[in-house]
Amino acid sequence: MAEENDQEQQDKPTGKRKKLLFIGGGAAIIIIAVVVIWLFSGSSESGQGQSNGGQASQVSADSSDAPEVGNALYVGMPRPFVFIVPGDARERTVQIKVQLMVRGEESEEQVKRHIPLIEGTLHEVFSSSTAEELKTVEGKTKLRELALQEVRNALESVAGPGLVEQVLFTSMVMQ
């Protein structure tokens, strides 16, 4: 009987052994996760450098002058535009939230510096519309295009041409 109890105690792992197994298993999982992340993130960068050869340095030198094509940034207007437009039976209150799409961080900074000018321009454009125009998709599209044109014109005189690529309506409510 005493021999069976001794054998059962030897078969069961002790508290220290359990801790070591737990710590070792956790460390193995962390090491595997780090290796997987390193392989996925490192493979795309090293593959691009090897396939381009000497062209990589030439492309980076050329791209410093012009903003990257895929580097779209969005500048949100700090407040939604709220204005009243005439309608068939009565005047309507409209609220529009706007974001501007720009290319490159330099353009983003210039647009942020001129937000008061942009807000004033957009408010003039929006308040000149009617409720009937804003009810249709075509009317909203025309308003967006007119807003883009007017913002570009206003910014061209103070910051240069081509800062804003698109004017996006992220929300529009009409009551």
Residues 107-120: tens digit of each pLDDT? 889 999 999 999 99
Does domain 72-174 fall under CATH 3.30.70? My reply is no
Amino acid at 137: V
Structure tokens at 22: 């737990």
What does the pLDDT read at residue 32? 82
- Neighbour tally for 70: CB within 10 Å: 6
Please state whether 139 falls in left (phi above 0), alpha (psi between -120 and 50) or beta: alpha
Closest CA to 92 of 125, 126, 143, 122: 126
What share of the chain in percent tops pLDDT 70?
73
